[in-house]
Amino acid sequence: MIGTMLGNRYELIEKIGEGGMAVVYKAKCRILNRFVAIKILKPEYSNNSEFMEKFRREALATATFSHSNIVNIYDVGSEGNINYIVMELVNGKTLKEYIRENAPLSMDSTLKISIQIAKALECAHKNKIIHRDIKPHNILINEEGVIKVTDFGIAKATSSDTITHTNKVIGSAHYFSPEQAKGKIVDNRTDIYSFGIVIYEMLTGRVPFDGESAVAVALKHIQDTIVPPKVLVPEVPDSLNNLVIKATQKEVIKRYNNVTDMLIDLMRIENNNKYIVTPSNMDNDYTTVMDATQIQNTMYASNLGKKLTNKDMDDEEEEEEEEEDEDYEDYDGEKRKTSTWKKVLIVGGALLLTILLGVFVGTSIYNKGNSNVKKDELRVPKIIGLTEDEAKDAVEKLGLTYVVLGEEASDKPAGTIIAVFPSEGTAVKKESEVRVRISTGPGEIEVPDVVKLGKSVAQDHIVTQGLKVGKITEDYSEEIEEGAVISTNPAAKTKVKKGDTVDIVISKGSRIKKTQVPDLIGLTLKEAEQVLAVVNLKLGSTTAVITDDISRDGKIFNQSEPALTSVQENEKISVNYYQYKDPDEGKVEVPNFIGRTIEDAQATANSLGFRITVTGDRKGLIISQDVPEGNKLDKGSTINLIAQIKAPNIGGDDDDDDEP
């Protein structure tokens, strides 16, 4: 598929993911010149015209609204046998990957992620879109920590009986609601249940129910109780523990009525982890047995393997249809043909087992309906502190089922019980599960890798691993951003004992601080000095350039480093600025020399600082000057004068010698 061009605009560049129903590629849009993600449905879904119509309709519906925590859908198309969705490319990882790398998550991290998921679901629900497949695999977290919920279109177009068709989608079974497992009508509270399971996994690092098949997991969603996350991770605050319990109630009516209410509780817990979230009655949720009505609903929903079409989702009558033979993969990856009747037998056999179990238990309850129900109740024995063998014996002697949740390092002797659920003394039905955690003693654990994490997140992560935070020091780092962890002592992955101390070094950022040069053009020297100080720079040399434009006086017109240039802090920035000078400043006004004698003109010029030159009769009067009266000249300037020229004596006699 690499190199394939879809819709004459999307070139597939590389495969970046694969799920049960689709393969995701990174692609380049040749028209808008941007990278996108393209999800291409696998052939077993692309060949189903009914599925494709739903898929296209729901994908387009999702594209009608936009939210910062929802992956944007840009386009939906088909080309030959290829059906695809074009969507926003998110550079990051799935929440599932993030949980695997960091579980259990701290309360702060869990809340930050959960609040964003809740906002995405709130937007979808307000637009009348139910996701129906909320799980960590469908939640992306980008490099900035922003959450993006995806796969709205596929989730909505997939019917709840998909899990009975192939084991390949078992992943979804871990997160779907009891009503989905029963094939009942779903609403927005189905997403709330799945969302609660996601929060559970973030807090504990595991899903509450697991099994060898999708059907086995589905039955646990219907019948088994969820072990509160606080039992698995004692550091989980009561507020968040109760929120998860409330969101994952088996009865829809006991959950949050809408995701907005859940979002409000999450935000209140973020502000105050002691905020009280009142959960529904957990006792009613401990042991649930499918009654006759539930069994009928399950039969109706599955219709012994036929395709489910919920009236509330499709707004059309349910029609029986023949399923054509289709290829699907087993766990070993080999493809084989399976006829419709074989599918019916496989699914029907599993459902028949469920029905018989339900009828058996239902009949048992009915037969004892007139007797005192309390006769069937037992009390969980006191087993904390006992050895595993002693505890197992005590539990099984009462007719209860002994289940080991796991082992954990503690200060209690190895092999002893350190936690039990339900708690000791709780009333339960016969054959109910009693789940325990066993101490491995003060065994060794690994120092978690908290490098590049923020200080508070790193501290939380260390504490949740059963370790203590020791000395916190600071140092410069050219690689780790300010406020994040540079290193730990002992180093990550080092084996230590529970309760040991881990020192952390926090980055002060780069030793050589960088800053951007501001734009100083048009500022005065004083203004420039103030602006530079804000970004830890200094004003360097200043050079004045004379101007006769008074409007430019004092304004900077050039700077040694251009604006937005990155420089070291405390660097000096030199500037050139204009200095106004009156063009007439220091000049003297030229007087009127005309009509004066040369001697008088010379005396006047000397007094004003001018020099004069005279042409003509030295005894005559001044008749012309080259610089008009009133003009201004610098002192020392020369003014050229012309004196009257005497007419020559035709008779040859000198007038001065004439006698009357």
DSSP classification of residue 322: P
In the chain, the percentage of residues whose pLDDT exceeds 70 is 78
pLDDT of residue 153: 55
Which H, E and C letters describe 31-52, residue by residue?
Answer: CCCEEEEEEEECHHHHCCHHHH
Rounded to 10 degrees, the C-alpha dihedral 259/264/265/266 comes to 90
Measured CA to CA, the distance from residue 171 to residue 175 in angstroms comes to: 8
Measured CA to CA, the distance from residue 501 to residue 15 in angstroms comes to: 43
One domain for residues 416 and 467: no
One domain for residues 491 and 415: no
| Boundary residue ending a domain (389, 411, 439) | 439
One domain for residues 251 and 361: no
Of the candidates 143, 319, 334, 659, the residue annotated as catalytic is 143
CATH number at residue 405: 3.30.10.20
What is the identity of the amino acid at 569? Answer: E
One domain for residues 241 and 173: yes
One domain for residues 106 and 182: yes
**Considering only CA atoms, which of 35, 124, 120, 36 is closest in space to residue 84?**
36
Asked if 424 and 400 count as a contact pair (C-beta separation under 8 A), the reply is no
What is the identity of the amino acid at 490? Answer: P
pLDDT of residue 369: 38
Domain assignment of residue 318, yes or no: no
pLDDT of residue 154: 54
| Boundary residue ending a domain (54, 87, 120) | 87
Domain assignment of residue 319, yes or no: no
pLDDT of residue 344: 39
pLDDT of residue 301: 37
Domain assignment of residue 15, yes or no: yes
Residues of the chain with pLDDT under 70: 54-55, 57-58, 61, 153-171, 279-376, 409, 464, 646-660
pLDDT of residue 374: 58
How many residues belong to the chain? 660
Domain assignment of residue 479, yes or no: yes
pLDDT of residue 372: 40
One domain for residues 527 and 496: no
Domain assignment of residue 320, yes or no: no
One domain for residues 98 and 181: yes
CATH number at residue 19: 3.30.200.20
One domain for residues 249 and 354: no
Our CA angle for 225, 226, 231, nearest 5°, is 125
Q: What is the pTM of this model?
A: 0.46
Helix (H) or strand (E) holding 27: strand 22-29
Total count of domains within the chain: 7
Q: Please confirm whether the linkage preceding 422 is cis (ω < 30° from 0).
A: yes
One domain for residues 279 and 303: no
The DSSP result for 205-216, as a single string, is SS-S---SSHHH
One domain for residues 11 and 157: no
pLDDT of residue 649: 55
Bridge partners (DSSP) of residue 501 are: 468
One domain for residues 67 and 136: no
One domain for residues 388 and 363: no
DSSP classification of residue 623: E
Burial class from Cβ neighbours inside 10 Å (0-12, 13-18, 19+) for residue 205 reads middle
Residue owning tokens 């610089």: 627
| Boundary residue ending a domain (439, 461, 489) | 439
Domain assignment of residue 114, yes or no: yes
pLDDT of residue 327: 27
What is the identity of the amino acid at 98? Answer: Y
Active-site residue 143, yes or no? Answer: yes
Domain assignment of residue 321, yes or no: no
Domain membership of residue 622 as a residue range: 588-643
Instruction: Write phi, then psi, for 576 (nearest 5 degrees).
Output: -115, 140
Domain assignment of residue 325, yes or no: no
Helix (H) or strand (E) holding 638: strand 638-643
